[in-house]
A and B are shown apart, each in its own frame.
Chain A
Amino acid sequence: MAMTMTQKILAAHSGESEVVAGQLIEARLDLVLGNDVTAPVAIREFERIPGAAVFDRGKIALVPDHFAPNKDIESAEQCKAMREFARKHGIENYFEIGCMGIEHALLPERGLVLPGELVIGADSHTCTYGAAGAFSTGVGSTDMAAGMATGVAWFKVPSAIRFALHGGLGGWASGKDLILSIIGAIGVDGALYRSMEFVGPGVASLTMEERFTVANMAIEAGAKNGIFPVDEKTRAWAASVSNRPYVEYAADPDAEYERTITIDLSTIRPTVAFPHLPSNTRPASGSGVVAIDQVVIGSCTNGRIEDLRVAAEILKGRRVADGVRCIVFPATQKIYLQAIREGLIEAFIEAGAIVSTPTCGPCLGGHMGILAEGERAIATTNRNFVGRMGHPKSEVYLASPATAAASAIAGKIVDPEEVLEAPGRRG
């Protein structure tokens, strides 16, 4: 029986020669991830297992990023619980302040996720690593606890939707605009329980950063995972982060898909998701007059170096509009340092933006940029639910780094082309 790429990886990790959609399997885990919100709950559950020990000290990653550096006493206690657990069990991949970053940018950067691997994380955006040709999916804390103890997890084998990409992105359009357009077209439950498999000649034109952005938001369409084939760009990236061996899996040519959605990348335009769902999309140029109070550039979706370069290219030599607060979050220490070396941080500060140490910060309404009642933000993050960035009566508009940076200058939501010339295609 022909299998999708996701099914191939699941079969290989469950010791089956083949699996079919709907089948319940137990699969071997290559990595189990948790953060300062989900790990404390997982640790409590883990300790209820009699004689519990971790299955492999090298295959668990613990990242304090949501409320770290600790924003208050409660979050300090949560980070402490995670730190003490990491010490007690000799967890090799615990990332203390100083070497931390937002988990989904940090793990790939550290070479902890490679093609063909199977990763669960107690964080819904764990699906990000599909960009690397891995199967990765978000689970809850109890799954994380059981995974840490046993090294296996149960899965229902998903069916898949195939996204056939052609052509290339033009102008200021980016991977973020592609995934926002897809979610706008299929809805927040358009891929519920399913895999989103991205294939076709257009894949080669997307940078690794763009693939991470696209896979990151698969969950916003309800998907179990989003996954990209392994190509030259993936191999070059993998070689740059790790020398561990890995296995490449590819979908069978006759694999079954529930449907195929064909997308000409050259038709994708800068896109904005209006409150309060990521599927509530419009072209940025058709936003009307939406004045903004805050701009957030960063997060696990768009806090990578390429994202910061685009934002800096737009902000350099210009000024953030009066009355607008522009907050930039590099996703990891390494990205932060690189941005300093390239002069991006200087460009942000001279434009009137502020730059924060890596943290999830305002993305989840945690700290470092919370919205008051009635305030509006345009953000490069991935969710714009009610109250996501602060007050239940505040609003979040999701967009690309280019659209967010251009909007910061305009003081209202704009298509970057409205204030700037279109660039040549980057990357």
Chain B
Amino acid sequence: MENGSRVWKYGDDVDTDVIVPARYLTTSVPEELAAHCMEDIDSGFAKAVSPGDVIVAGGNFGCGSSREHAPIAIKASGVSCVVAASFARIFFRNAINIGLPILECPEAAAEAENGDRMSVDLASGMIRNLTRGTSHAAAPFPPFMRGIMDAGGLIAYVSAKSSAGSRKGS
């Protein structure tokens, strides 16, 4: 996108309880979860977010519970990528497994401000901040994870493997 995507900027330790409060976990419908995305930290987010927008945050993004509802809500709200200084472990796994693009880049995360315009190239990991005129490269994913992402998530990856007759296990 020429004009880049709008940045929604948050701080360190954004936890899954603020990404989707547990009081809404009686549903797993992506659109319903998206309606409450970030509600306890930024009540305006769910209404104002546009398809393609980018969430940028500090360290340990997605800490807390294992709820996949968190990346599902972010993905369903139209966010195209989350850029953070670092991700909590389970959130990282879940995002890859459901196909929500995430990039770890402390420099890009530190520099961006709320409302900046940013363009992200997932293939190369290049992050351009159009407002500030800067670029940073995030570390690319190892091939194993690229395999899961390229297949469209873990379920598609497993399905392809099992139909190829290469199912492992004991």
Contact = CB atoms under 8 A, between A and B. Distances in A.
Interface of A: 24, 26, 28, 37-38, 40-41, 44-45, 48-51, 55, 66-67, 71-72, 74-75, 78, 121-124, 126, 138-143, 145-146, 149-152, 154, 188-189, 192-193, 219, 222, 224, 277, 364-366, 383, 385-388, 392
Contacts of B154: 142-143, 145-146
A140 B94 contact: yes
SS class of chain A's interface: helix, strand, loop or mixed? loop
A150 B167 contact: yes
A188 B60 contact: yes
19 contacts: A24-B145, A38-B68, A78-B26, A121-B66, A122-B66, A124-B64, A124-B90, A140-B90, A140-B98, A142-B68, A143-B94, A150-B167, A189-B13, A189-B59, A189-B60, A364-B25, A385-B17, A386-B40, A387-B18
Most buried by A among B69, B71, B148, B154: B154
Contacts of A121: 66
B34 interface: no
Interface of B: 13, 15, 17-18, 21-23, 25-28, 40-41, 59-60, 63-69, 71-72, 86, 88-90, 93-94, 97-98, 142, 144-145, 148, 153-155, 158-159, 162-163, 167-170
Contact of B18 (A24, A48, A124, A386): A386
Given A188-B13, A277-B13, A365 B169 contact: no
Contacts of A75: 26
B86 A192 contact: yes
Nearest to A48: B155
Given A139-B66, A139-B90, A189-B86, 6 more contacts: A24-B142, A50-B159, A67-B25, A67-B26, A142-B68, A154-B148
A66 B153 contact: no
B95 to A, nearest CB: 9
B66 A123 contact: yes
Contacts of A139: 66, 90, 93-94
Contacts of B98: 140, 142
Closest 6 CB pairs of A and B: A74-B26, A140-B94, A151-B169, A142-B97, A140-B68, A189-B60
Nearest to A151: B169
Contact of B163 (A50, A142, A152, A193): A50
Contact of A142 (B86, B153, B169): B153
Contact of B64 (A24, A149, A383): A383
Contact of A55 (B26, B67, B169): B169
B68 A28 contact: no
Given A188-B13, A224-B89, A392 B97 contact: no
Given A124-B65, A222-B63, A45 B155 contact: yes
A72 B154 CA distance: 32
A139 B67 CA distance: 9
A366 B22 CA distance: 7
Contacts of B167: 150
B140 to A, nearest CB: 14
Contact of A49 (B13, B162, B170): B162
B28 A40 contact: yes
Nearest to B41: A386
Contact of B170 (A71, A151, A277): A151
Contacts of A124: 64-66, 90
A41 B159 contact: no
B63 A189 contact: yes
A67 B168 CA distance: 35
Nearest to A363: B22
A122 B93 CA distance: 12
B66 A140 contact: yes
Contacts of A50: 159, 162-163
B66 A38 contact: yes
B40 A387 contact: yes
A207 to B, nearest CB: 27
Nearest to B167: A150
Contacts of B66: 38, 121-124, 126, 138-140
B26 A222 contact: no
Nearest to B13: A188
Contact of A74 (B27, B64, B68, B158): B27
Contact of A140 (B23, B97, B170): B97
Contacts of B65: 123-124, 364, 383
B9 to A, nearest CB: 18
A224 B170 CA distance: 24
Given A189-B60, A386-B41, A150 B25 contact: no
Contacts of B145: 24
Contacts of B59: 189
Contacts of A45: 155
